[in-house]
Structure 1
Amino acid sequence: MSKIDLSIITISYNTKQIMRDCLESIVKYTKGINFEIIVVENGSMDGSLKMLHNFSKKRPELILIDAKENLGFGRGNNRGADRAKGEYLLFINSDTLIFNNAIKNALENFKAHPESGVYSCQLLNGDKTHQPSGGHFPTLGRLLAWQFFIDDLPFIGDLIKSIHPHEPGFFFWHQFFLKKDTRVKSGIVENYPDWVTGAFMMVKKNIFEEVGGFDKNIFMYTEEMELCYRIRKLEYKTYYSDTPAIIHLGGASGGSILAITSEIKNMIYFWKKHKQTWQLPLVKFAFFIGSLLRLLIFGIIKGDEKARRAYLQSLGYIL
């Protein structure tokens, strides 16, 4: 059997049609490399398991792991990585679409930068406008700038390396004054951000194993940032390139209640694990005031019910 260059790992959870579309795009538009696809089925109730069984009969490169329960993003991907035979791992969301042999081109980009332990390419929304991907590691200053809207300020915001990338429509006043059809025009402008999104994240398998994979205590959200943080401790960089590109459908819809609350919860966990303990009260204070402000601005003044529920839940967790 030929050596496998790349193990493509994805999680299936109640996304039957989206998962099928993703797999078909991978098979159709990935040429010139030996790859395997490992799908971890996280206990879906929508017929995904049967679809994947049928798909694997036609495509022998697909390896199906039936987890029988929802392991979350990190634990699910760890399960897939345990079965992987490739020298490189590609963690990819089920709501992505591949075109123009992007995976092969991405792998070649990654191999050309041996100083890097993690790589990602450009993500596009469904209409092929640019989608933000990654950012910088949390520090107390960056967290305060994020929660108090300091990194939203003109000119000042440009000087701050934000935890999250900024796009038109990100700044809080844009949510009042920009039209809904505003198009994203720019994203990461540097080739070495601190972390990149898990929607399309390529990692050298030996490095992934050395750091112990994704943190099993993080069910979903911030797990990719935390992984990149541990990989950076081994003195490997995170590399990003704007070519090739793939489509990530989910990123265009904005944050869910689960995303908002989980990010705050997991960011506090990140601080407990990696930062000095004296900073933790300040971190919780920043998230408390930040959540209160967002509850007032988005949940009450703007009348966004999702924001109202999310930040009320966040305040309850912080307290």
Structure 2
Amino acid sequence: MTVDVAAVVVTYNSEQHISDLLDTLPAAFATTSYSVVVVDNGSTDGTIDLLDRRTDCTVVRSTNVGYAAGINLAVRSSPAAAAILILNPDAKLDPDAVPRMLAVLHKPGVGIVAPRIREQDGSLSRTLRRAPTLGRVGGLSFTGLASFAERVEDAREYEREHEVDWAVGAILLVGRPCYEALGGLDESYFLYSEETDFCLRARDAGGATVYTPVAGAMHIGGGSGESVTTHTMKAVNRVRVYHRHAGPLRAWLYFSMTVLIEMRRAIRWHGASWPTVRALLHPAERPVALGANDTLLPG
């Protein structure tokens, strides 16, 4: 069996959201043929029971192997398809969203397509990002200056179709040749930054990430909040992305600046930053799942 698009989802205690996503897919795909594979990463709530009662998806049970590994497993478990639609379980797609994204994906040089996403209250979700640099390590998006802001804040940039460095991975349509050329998502990130790395590697290989405002979706996001562990994962993985794409010399500067920024946050307002500082300076204290416990500079 072959389909136009293989939709892949990874769930982890996603009982509150996954049905809403799956219910939007028929209208979102319209006449486009598709499959849906959901990999459950060891949920302990009612997610599996809920999925088992549905007939519109294939469920693959897994342990918590991480988000990237879960997506790769879902792709391997899907029928052959020309494109892969990566979806977070707390997303919802608008009608006709997929054929509109496909039309962009079919343009020359495009490897990944990101739609216009709104928050739960209907406001614009600023999901577009610039590549990490030394100037952007501080997270100074509020300045609106491209030299210091990784997040694209200008609402006008969300009104036109254009190439971007990368986009938040809640909803991404990926061409199968692009996915195969990159060997899928890099599973070493476990959680966070895998979409950053994937889009940057795609760009380097000639597959642009293109944002289109003609396809719409909603993403709830942040429902479980941020723990000390997830905050540390984000910090370590940001350094890893920069290291892998910029090389060790600049990565040491990026790492040092990250430590100083986390110390400043800890002193001023963000308690979770103290454990992150310790984990950055003491590799043994980093989350084991990242596999980044051996060297001071996360690689």
TM bin (shorter chain) = 0.7 to 0.9
Q: 2:133–2:242: 8 Å Cα contact kept in structure 1?
A: no
Residue 116 (structure 1) aligned to one of 110, 113, 116 = 110
CA contact (8 A) 1:131 1:251 kept: no
Of 88, 98, 107 in structure 2, the residue corresponding to residue 103 of structure 1 is: 98
Are 2:268 and 1:269 equivalent residues in the alignment?
no
Q: 1:102 & 1:312 partners in 2: Cα distance? A: 42
* Stretch moving more, 249-258 or 218-227: 249-258
1:121 Cα deviation from its structure 2 partner: 0.5
C-alpha distance in 2 between matches for 1:187 and 1:262: 29
Higher helix share: 1
Find runs of 4+ consecutive structure 1 residues off by over 4 angstroms. 185-190, 251-259
- Residue 128 (structure 2) pairs with residue 141 (structure 1): no
* Alpha-carbon shift at residue 296 of structure 1 (Å): 2.9
Q: Please list the CA deviations of residues 102-121 of structure 1 after superposition, one character each: whole Å capped at 9, or x if unmatched.
A: 1222222322x221111100
Letter of the aligned partner of 2:136 in structure 1? R
How far apart, in 1, do the equivalents of 2:148 and 2:257 lie?
18
Match of 1:125 in 2: 119
Higher share in strand:
2
Is 1:245 the equivalent of 2:207?
no
Gaps of 5+ in 2: 282-299
Q: Which structure 1 residue ranges, 5 or more long, are not aligned?
A: 168-184, 300-306
Contact 1:136-1:163 within 8 A present in 2 as well: yes
Partner of 2:16, secondary structure, is helix
Q: Is the 8 A contact 1:74 1:216 kept in 2?
A: yes
**Which one of 153, 172, 193 corresponds to residue 166 of structure 1?**
153
Number of paired residues? 279
TM-score, normalised via structure 1 length? 0.81
TM-score (norm 2): 0.86
Aligned to 1:222: 193
Which deviations, in whole Å up to 9, do the C-alpha atoms of 1:48-103 show, x marking residues without a partner?
A: 112212103xx3xx221111x11211000010111232110010100011222212
2:243–2:250: 8 Å Cα contact kept in structure 1?
no
Alignment of 1:199-218 (within 5 A): 199-218=170-189
SS of equivalent residue, structure 1 residue 139: coil
Q: Deviations over 1:193-214 (max 9, x none)?
A: 1011110011111211111111
- Partner SS state of residue 174, structure 2: strand
1:159 Cα deviation after fit: 4.3
1:211-234 alpha-carbon deviations (Å, 9 max, x no partner): 111111111111001011111111
